[in-house]
Amino acid sequence: MDVQEAVADSTAVASADDNGDAKRDGQRKFTMGPNDSLEGKLVYDGHVHVDGRAEGEFKVTGNLEIAQGATARISIEAANVNVKGQVEGPVTARDKLTLGKNARLSGDIVVRRLQIEDGASLNGHVRMGDIEQQGSGG
Amino acid sequence: MSSKGPAARNRTSAPAGNGSDGEHSSIVLGPRDRLVGQLYVEGDLRVVGTVEGELEVTGSVEIDDGGKVTGPVTARDRLVVGRAGSLKGDVRVARLVVQDGAAFSGRVSMGKAVEAPPKPVEPAKELEPVKLPDAAKLPEAVKVPEVDKPVQPVKPVQPVKPVQPVKAVQPVKAVQPVKAVQPVKAVQPTKTPQAKGKRR
């Protein structure tokens, strides 16, 4: 139920596109606000901005960003993952994972490229290299 | 010229002396350097060459410019893997910086729990047992056990007995004479029983 409502909101927010990401590469954007929460599995064709609280599994064809102050207990799979908040769970970045200076990530990560800024906290196993492409990923 | 020459030399030699004091050293493994084994550094380490083995550093470690480390790394302060650096091994650090382009794989443990084990080199000399003289002084201070005698005066608590007056309450039981209403002889003890009896 919450997911459907969130999706409906996301379309509205995507049209507002304050970041301009949506226009840049023509992909949709799913945006959660600081008071939103999502529990469950989200498969989304586009970018996702997570704020507030998220729990479950996120599979994203585009980029996924965890905002500062957000709390996420999720498994993540996305092209680029940018963490500024707190994440607990495994992360797969088909391209690049970035941990901001206030990021806290606890979980094993598989990435092609990795960038960790000073101040970030990471606990987990890191594996770098080419990531097996999934046929259904498109 | 001759007078200024020595002064200049002293200044240049001073920083080199700091490095050899062991207080805070700074080591650089250059591009043609290669270390295989275990390295413990009190200070900072910069790796531009190749390391195969275990690194433990009290300060910071920087791997960059083609530097390649294979093995576990412990840094009590910060570990930096530059964009041209490569690290393959488990890492225990307080702070971690990985620049875009760096190659890095292994388990990362971060947090305040990064307290490196005791120094492997140079110990033993400071372990002399200085505790003995302290122990000799202790018994003198303990010789003050005169407190036992004054405990006797506790006995004079006798005055508690005057609780006797409670017996005076007995006369209340004298109400029994209610039965005595039948025999007129019972009137002798006191006048009060009579009064009560008549009121009923």
ipTM comes to 0.79
Q: Is the pLDDT of residue B176 over 60?
A: no
List of residues 6+ apart from B25 with CB closer than 8 A: B19, B41, B42, B43, B44
Minimum-distance CB partner of A118 among B97, B105, B109:
B97
Greatest alpha-carbon span in chain A:
39
pLDDT at B49: 94
Minimum-distance CB partner of A122 among B103, B105, B110:
B110
State the average pLDDT for chain B.
68
Q: Is the pLDDT of residue A60 over 90?
A: yes
Smallest CA–CA distance from B92 into chain A, residue = A123
Across the interface, whether the CB atoms of B96 and A120 are under 8 A apart is answered yes
Residue A134 lies in a domain: no
Residue B69 lies in a domain: yes
Share of chain B above pLDDT 70, in %: 44
Closest CA to A2 of A41, A51, A58: A41
pLDDT at B127: 54
Closest CA to A75 of A67, A87, A63: A87
List of residues 6+ apart from A73 with CB closer than 8 A: A54, A55, A56, A87, A88, A89
Residue A137 lies in a domain: no
Strands A63-66 and A47-50: parallel
Minimum-distance CB partner of A116 among B98, B103, B107:
B98
Residue B128 lies in a domain: no
Structural domain total, chain B? 1
pLDDT band at B111 (very low <50, low <70, confident <90, very high): confident
pLDDT at B137: 53
Give the separation between CA B75 and CA B41, rounded to whole angstroms: 10
Residues of the domain holding A74: 2-129
Least reliable range by pLDDT among A68-77, A129-138, B98-107 = A129-138
Residue B132 lies in a domain: no
Query: Could you give the C-alpha distances from B56 to B8, B37, B45, B91, B179, in angstroms and in order?
Result: 36, 11, 9, 10, 104
Structural domain total, chain A? 1
Q: Is the pLDDT of residue B166 over 50?
A: no
Among chain A, residues having any CB pair with chain B shorter than 8 Å are: 96, 113-129
Give the separation between CA A67 and CA A100, rounded to whole angstroms: 10
Smallest CA–CA distance from B99 into chain A, residue = A115
Residue A136 lies in a domain: no
Residue B26 lies in a domain: yes
Residue A39 lies in a domain: yes
Residue B92 lies in a domain: yes
Residue B28 lies in a domain: yes
Residue A92 lies in a domain: yes
Chain A residues close to B95, C-beta within 8 Å: 118-119
Residue B125 lies in a domain: no
Residue A26 lies in a domain: yes
Residues of the domain holding B75: 22-110
Smallest CA–CA distance from A114 into chain B, residue = B100
Residue A120 lies in a domain: yes
pLDDT digits (tens, 9 = 90+) for B23-46: 688 999 999 999 999 999 999 999
Across the interface, whether the CB atoms of B105 and A113 are under 8 A apart is answered no
pLDDT at A127: 96
Residue B177 lies in a domain: no
Least reliable range by pLDDT among A30-39, A61-70, B19-28 = B19-28
Residue A135 lies in a domain: no
Which of B61, B95, B97 has the highest number of chain A CBs within 10 A, making it the mutation to test binding with A?
A: B97
